[in-house]
Every structure is written in structure tokens, then in C-alpha cells.
Amino acid sequence: MLRDRPRQQAYKKAIELNAKLFKDKIVLDVGCGTGILSAFCAKAGAKLVYAVEASKLAEIALKVMEDNGLTSAVKVFHSKIEDFCLPTSIAKVDIIISEWMGFYLLHEGMLDSVLFARDNFLKPDGLMFPTECSIYVAPCSVPCRFDDWNNVDGVCLKSFSSQLRKQKSNKPEILQISPEQLLHRGAVAHWMNLMDVSRTDLDEIAFEDVLVAEKTGKHQGFCIWFECRFPCEDYEDAIILSTSPNSPITHWKQCVVVLPENACLQIDNNAPISLKMSMKRRSDDIRKYDLEFELLDSYAIEHPVPCNCYMTKCILLKTHLQNMETH
């Protein structure tokens, strides 16, 4: 996190711009790491911060507080949050803050631990930082796994790239996708409110939709990213941490599922791309998820109404609806 400026600055701004929410409050930092978020909270006016860290980084966090003169405001605990107990003088905390996100939001993340903290330590009217999260998906081209190998200093390496894709075909890749590679702005595949989402809600996430291409290009994969929104008095002014291709690059980059070569197509603008996506928690490791995509037949499934794709039935229906609105 320390070298990931976009995510660190998002947290810092969310805390500083909401300093009055932290003023004289009790804060719980779940998985505090080096304690930098705890330090931000203390500097923003928090009365007391409980910084809980399961790893040996807790020792570093304690030294960080000593170096910054914050030992009276920040109390560091070397403990799993599930084993942590608040002092008897503190019934509940006002705010829970954590940088818990994993790849494509949930994979290898620690949201379960944060929800445990919420259920056991947060006041009914308390706040979560962040408070809302969205997962986005968009069709994309992936030239670094296809076209870039067609000519490498005058040598065609298509055979190598084909073998490379086979080796990586059983799991998603973490890549940096440029905005130009997106064939669609991105659809919200899942949204969650951290104030009420349950751990069982996270066992499986499903999404099915018809996405309409917004440009001509090669459909070679699906790109997944996430956004986290922090509490704010004015919803429109809320700080958002985004891992979108249109935002500054973060540690998470983007998650890309590359299509098999026989499924890749050159598509036109307004072409329908029908898909089904599922994220299922693994039984052998609950912090990890299996991610699956299925391409659906756009002619066989129902489209949203209205639909902007180029299929005749959608054009006719959209025109009919527009005519009804004008009469």
C-alpha cells in the first residue's frame, strides 16, 4: 500500500475530508499493516484507534506510532481480529476502517474478517470505510496475449503466444488494460453495501447480461475491476477508489479472463456480447474464488429493453418505444 499512491491517497482524502466524522471517535483498523491508516485517523482527530494486525507487521506498526508521537492515540494489537477483544471500558467502536480488497475485489481479500469486526464491534449507527463496493466487467482486446506477438522485431511468434495462452488458460491474469482496449465502458456485475452484506452473500456472485459493443475491435477477453466508495455527507462528493483502466494504475491492476482462440472474434460497433459470469468461493480456501465466464448465444436469449445492439428485433423495438414517447 505504501507505494500504491492512488489507493493510499484515496484513503487519506476520505479521512481528511471527513475529519469531523472522526473527531473524538473510536476507530478500529482491521489488518492495519504498518499502521498508516491508523495514523491518518489519529491525525484527523480520532479519540482512540485500535490497530489490529495478525502478522509481525504489528511490531513495525507500534514503532511507527512511536516515531510519530501517536502511541497515546493509537493502540496496536498483534492479533487476528477474530481473537481480538475490545477493552471492557469500550462497548463498541464508531468507525471501522480497513484496506481489505483483493484481486477482482474478493479473491485473496479479507472481507470476511472485516464483516466479523462489523458484526461484533461496530455501533448500530457506526460507519464503514469504505462503505460500498462495485465489481465491473467489460469485453476487451488483449494484444499482449495475441497481436503483440505477430511481429517481434521482424519475427512472427504466434506459436509462442498460443502456447503462452494455453499455459495461462486455467486462471485469470492480472494485467494492465488500457482504456483503448475496452470494447464497452463496463457494466456493474455486483454491488454491495458493507453495512449490511453478510458473509454468506459472498459465497457466490452471478451476473448475466447482454453488453453492446461501443466500438469496433477484437473481442479477446473480459476485463474485471472494482470501485470502493467512502462515506461522505454529500453522496456526489464521495471519494472513490477505482481500479478501472480509466483510472491511475494500482497494485490490483485489472483482472483479465482471456478467451480461447476459437472464441475470439472481430466485432463491430453495437454488436451484442452475451455473457454469464460466476464467482464462487473455494471450499478448500475461503479467501479464494473460482471465476468462470460463459459466452451465450445473443440470438437465443432475451435482451434488455431497450437494447442498443444492431439486431433487427432490438432496432425495431427501440424505434417503436421512441415513437410511443413522441405521441
Q: Which of 108, 204, 208, 233 is catalytic?
A: 108
Catalytic residue chosen out of the listed positions 53, 99, 132, 227? 99
What would the grid cell of residue 29 be? Answer: 483498523
Do the Cβ atoms of 316 and 308 come closer than 8 Å? no
134's grid cell? 462495485
Torsion angle, alpha carbons of 21, 25, 29, 32, to 10: 90
Q: How many CB atoms lie within 10 A of CB 225?
A: 25
Cα angle for residues 235, 42, 117 (degrees, 5° grid): 70
* d(C-alpha 44, C-alpha 326), whole Å: 54
**Nearest in space to 33 (alpha carbons), one of 55, 6, 9:** 55
Q: Which residue has the cell 453478510?
A: 198
First to last CA, the chain: 57
**Over the Cα atoms of the chain, what is R_g?**
23
CA distance 137 to 185: 9
Residue 225 sits at φ, ψ, to 5 deg, of: -145, 175
Which residues, listed in sequence order, are joined to residue 278 by a DSSP beta bridge?
206, 292
* 108 catalytic residue (yes or no): yes
Residue 263 main-chain phi, psi, to 5 deg: -100, -10
Told to judge if 99 belongs to the known catalytic residues of this protein, a careful annotator would answer yes
Run of H or E including 12: helix 5-16
Containing H/E element for 113? helix 111-121
The C-alpha cell of 93 is what?
Answer: 467502536
Distance of CA 237 to the CA centre of its chain: 20
Closest C-alpha among 245, 205, 202 to residue 226: 245
Residues identified as active-site = 99, 108
